[in-house]
Structure 1
Amino acid sequence: MPLTPLDIHNKEFGRRLRGYDEDEVNEFLDQIIKDYEAMIRENKELQNQLMAMQDKLGHFANIEETLSKTIIVAQEAADELKGNAKKEAQLIVKEAEKNADRIINESLSKSRKYALEVEELKKQAAIYRARFRTLVETQLDLLNQDGWEKLETANVGARELE
């Protein structure tokens, strides 16, 4: 057990014939007591400061741990948000590709339909033209026949009779 200033103050030494000067020893002991008390006070202050610093260190360690957890949570949230955005972008691209395919297919279908209609109209026009040509040629053949002159002379005679 360490000495206290009171232990030093109460310490009594035995007397001998050729001993030390009692006043000098007492003065020296008083000086030791003062120094020892100052050391004890300084030691207590340092221990109090150490405890305060340890409390602060614990507080800052808690803050550091909280910040680390917060950073991890924020990073996870950012990663999740990034992943969700990537998935959404992929869905949008897929939807756009589907729409583009649908539009292309509809356009090709309409194009084929119009091409068939055009071909049908060309065929009908060719048939109409051929029929019209045949009709015109038949009419020309009728006009070129000899029977028209007899009709003209018969018409002239009928007029005269009137």
Structure 2
Amino acid sequence: MVLSPQDIHNKEFSTKLRGYNIDEVNDFLDKIIKDYQIVLQENKDLSSKLDESNDKLSYFNDLKDSLNQSILVAQEAADKVKTNSKKEAEITNREAQKKADDILNAANEKGNNILEEASKRAKKLAIETDDLRKNTRVFRQRLQVMLESQLEVIKGSDWDHLVEETPTTTYEDIEKVVGSLDNTANTGVESGTKQNNDADLVADATTTDDLDKTVVYYPDDAK
């Protein structure tokens, strides 16, 4: 049992012959009581501080555990965010690659269609140009035949007889000669036309299924 200052103060000693001086003993006990009170107060203060320190230590330990837990949660959250960001980046990259491939494929397809259409138009233009050249050659041949026939008619003896200055030439004779010359000219043209019958088939051929094809028409021979 711990003695209190009051216990020391109330302590009474028995007296004997040749014992201690009572006043000195009491004075010394008073000093002991004061010092003991001081020590008890310090001990109390230290105990109080120790309790406070223990409370703070417990608080900081709890805070430490909470911070560690928070750090773990934050680390897990950061890992999740990193993983999700990586997945989203991969998804975005795949989608962007897919869109780029789609755009490239569409552009290639469109380019191929344009090239194919241009090739078709070029072939069509070449065919039309070739047809135009054939028709032009046919027209030239027909014109040449017609002009040669007319030239043969002009060089004929009937014209010489017509232009001769003879007193016997009458209007009826001139009309008869002109009529025979016309018949000769028509015969020459028809002959030239028969010679170019195959060329006429090429010149007069038109396609009804292709409205964009160039068609060349030539005038009739004797009109």
Percent identity between matched residues is: 41
TM-score normalised per structure 1: 0.80
- The aligned counterpart of 1:51 is 51
SS of 2:18's equivalent in the other structure is coil
Q: Distance in 2 between matches of 1:17 and 1:150?
A: 196
Deviates more, 1:53-62 or 1:93-102: 53-62
What is the count of residue pairs matched by the alignment? 159
- Give the number of the structure whose residues are more often helix, by fraction: 1
Correspondences of 1:71-86 after superposition (within 5 Å):
71-86=71-86
Q: Distance in 2 between matches of 1:149 and 1:54?
A: 140
Paired AA for residue 43 in structure 1: N
Correspondences of 1:31-70 after superposition (within 5 Å):
31-70=31-70
Following TM superposition, by how much is the alpha carbon of 1:99 offset from its aligned partner in structure 2, in angstroms? Answer: 0.6
Relative contact order higher in (CA < 8 Å, ≥ 6 apart): 2
Structure 2 gaps, min length 5: 157-176, 183-223
- The aligned counterpart of 1:106 is 106
1:147 to 143, 149, 167: 149
Q: Distance in 1 between matches of 2:103 and 2:83?
A: 30
- The aligned counterpart of 1:157 is 178
Q: Distance in 1 between matches of 2:67 and 2:43?
A: 35
Q: Distance in 2 between matches of 1:27 and 1:139?
A: 161
- The aligned counterpart of 1:115 is 115
- The aligned counterpart of 2:187 is none
Instruction: From the CA coordinates, give the structure whose radius of gyration is larger.
Output: 2
Q: Distance in 2 between matches of 1:29 and 1:133?
A: 149
Following TM superposition, by how much is the alpha carbon of 1:13 offset from its aligned partner in structure 2, in angstroms? Answer: 4.2
